[in-house]
A and B are shown apart, each in its own frame.
Chain A
Amino acid sequence: MEIYLPIAGLPINFFILMSLGLVVGFLSGMFGVGGGFLMTPMLMLLGIPPAVAVASEANHILAASFSGFLAHMRRLNVDFLMGFILLTGGIVGSILGVFLLKYLLNIGQEKIFISLSYIFILIFVGAWMLRESLSTLKKTNKGKINKLHEHIWLHGLPFKIKFRKSHLYISIIPPIFIGFVVGVLSSIMGVGGGFILVPAMIYILGMPTQVVIGTSLLQIVFVTFVSTIMHSYINQTVDVVLSSLLLIGAVIGAQIGTRVMVKLKGEQIRFLLAIIIIIVATVLVGEILVTPKETFIIENLKENI
């Protein structure tokens, strides 16, 4: 069943979009990542213009993450205080990122450097997470009990606050800084930053994995809510027919993802996420190494043709 997408300007099969939405929603509910990493290339493969793909995706991820967020909230897996502190840093970071991007575009080559760094960060984070989760899995099998979390010097900085939900009493400087870095990154790379945010909350802040996922979803809800409106207001690139078709699958997928997630242990979730991060990094590397079919990119400057 083909349906014509009014903003993207092409017809697309209904069932393809439904299943894509389902998969992304599942990942979102389970790991607290947005799913843009999977969606952007898939939608572009279907022939949807990149600007429309990115904007409509923000709208669909909003639905998926809100659905997942509510499910996590019911299970009391959201640290609101931590979420808002991260968000504050994130807002400042993404505004600065927009200006930084302008500056970088003027001087050119730097964007390539950032793309490559992102891939390297993903490989590093994925590999490290894989190693850590595997060794934890082994330890738990042997029956050893782990400490709640490691204390590192960053936690001892001034302005300490009690984060009840996360069982933490740490300085607010690291969360603000992490939110800021993810904000800058999402402006420059056009990615939600879940892949950096989730591991950072687990390993740098020392939050319990289950709480990290719910809190990350809270963050994604805010970011995608704002970016849906901004994309529509500035570029008119949100295709509601496209996002509606995607979100039918996504909201269902997110609920299923949450149910699967609560049955798993923290280290099992981290292990699976590590594998996904490594797969994504590998695909990204493959994408830039393989000679493309078209060795150029064409953007429509008047998107409203």
Chain B
Amino acid sequence: MKYCIFIFVFIFHIYPSWAREPLLTDVVDKDINITASFDGAKIVIYGAIDTKLHKDSILIINILGPSSDLKIRKKEKFWGAWLAGNNEMVFEDAPGYFASASNIDNLDSIDDSILEELQIGWSNLIINTNLSENNNIDDYKNLLKIFYKNRGLYQTTSNIDVLGETLFRTEFLLPAITPTGTYNVKSFLLSNNGKLISSWNNSVKVSKEGLAEGLYDYSIEHPFLYGLLAALGAILAGYIASEVFRRI
């Protein structure tokens, strides 16, 4: 059943241009709205590979969420107590979500240099830092990965289902806390000897909608008034409760 829409889209959307591109991908829902009842979402990606030309090719899809600057501080033990210490670093423009999927189980067979060049996978992702000497950047990057994993913001369990030899489909889960902004979907088609055949980019926009959007925008555009109204609202609530209770 889930392939119905997929075949339909394939025939009318992908097939006409297939002849020109060895790899084509698209996303089912390009606009994900966060409403008052938002509880996570799914990014569904489908596409086609021109396998007539490239047998046993490798398909990899990475998703990078909207970026932000993150400060990581390590906790250390002082006389048996765990406290935030002095070891810290800042990641500049680090993706707020990361996911990876492939049609093969592991990418070990592929030459590292090509993965590095294309920045495929978390370990090959280049994130700028505030340090001039990046001596233990991998260490901090690993902490960030653990942080994301614990919150569902890092996903590598997805596999790409290939239907027949040409059509594929995969999906990624976005947790409820997923950041808002643009998610870049980067698809790569590699030959079985590890050469890049083709790549394709899509994007998905996650944005707040309705009351959530209104309040959020107001807090950014009029921070002082927002704060003042919040404070006055709290005073009013306190007053109402006090009046109500006086009459009971």
**Which A positions have Cβ atoms within 8 angstroms of B?**
2-4, 6-7, 9-11, 47, 59-60, 62-71, 74, 108-109, 111-112, 115-116, 224-225, 228-234, 236, 238, 240-241, 243-244, 247-248, 251-252, 254-255, 288-302, 304-305
Given contacts A4-B35, A255-B241, contact A241 B83 (CB under 8 A): no
Within 8 A of A (CB), among B209-232: 211-213, 215-216, 219-220, 223-224, 226-228, 230-231
Given contacts A70-B238, A232-B226, contact A9 B177 (CB under 8 A): yes
Which of B68, B84, B215, B241 is A7 in contact with, Cβ under 8 Å?
B215
Min distance, Cβ A182 to any Cβ of chain B, angstroms: 21
Docked pose: A92 CA to B94 CA in angstroms = 39
**Could you jot down 6 A-B contacts, CB within 8 Å?**
A6-B211, A6-B213, A63-B237, A66-B238, A109-B86, A288-B82
Which of A71, A224, A247 is B245 in contact with, Cβ under 8 Å?
A71
B227–A231 CB distance below 8 A: yes
**Which B positions have Cβ atoms within 8 angstroms of A?**
34-39, 66, 68-75, 78, 80-86, 90, 96, 143-144, 146-147, 150-151, 176-177, 179-181, 208, 211-213, 215-216, 219-220, 223-224, 226-228, 230-231, 233-235, 237-242, 245-246
Chain A: CB-nearest residue to B224: A233
A294–B146 CB distance below 8 A: yes
Min distance, Cβ B182 to any Cβ of chain A, angstroms: 11
B74–A288 CB distance below 8 A: no
Docked pose: A115 CA to B79 CA in angstroms = 14
A236–B223 CB distance below 8 A: yes
Contacts of A9 in B (CB 8 A): 177, 179-180
Min distance, Cβ B243 to any Cβ of chain A, angstroms: 8
Min distance, Cβ B213 to any Cβ of chain A, angstroms: 7
Given contacts A63-B238, A65-B238, A289-B82, contact A298 B216 (CB under 8 A): no
A6–B208 CB distance below 8 A: yes
Docked pose: A33 CA to B212 CA in angstroms = 32
Chain A: CB-nearest residue to B87: A296
Chain B: CB-nearest residue to A5: B212
Docked pose: A112 CA to B78 CA in angstroms = 9
Which of A248, A288, A296 is B147 in contact with, Cβ under 8 Å?
A296
Which of A116, A238, A290, A297 is B219 in contact with, Cβ under 8 Å?
A238
Which of B83, B150, B212, B219 is A294 in contact with, Cβ under 8 Å?
B150
A4–B38 CB distance below 8 A: yes
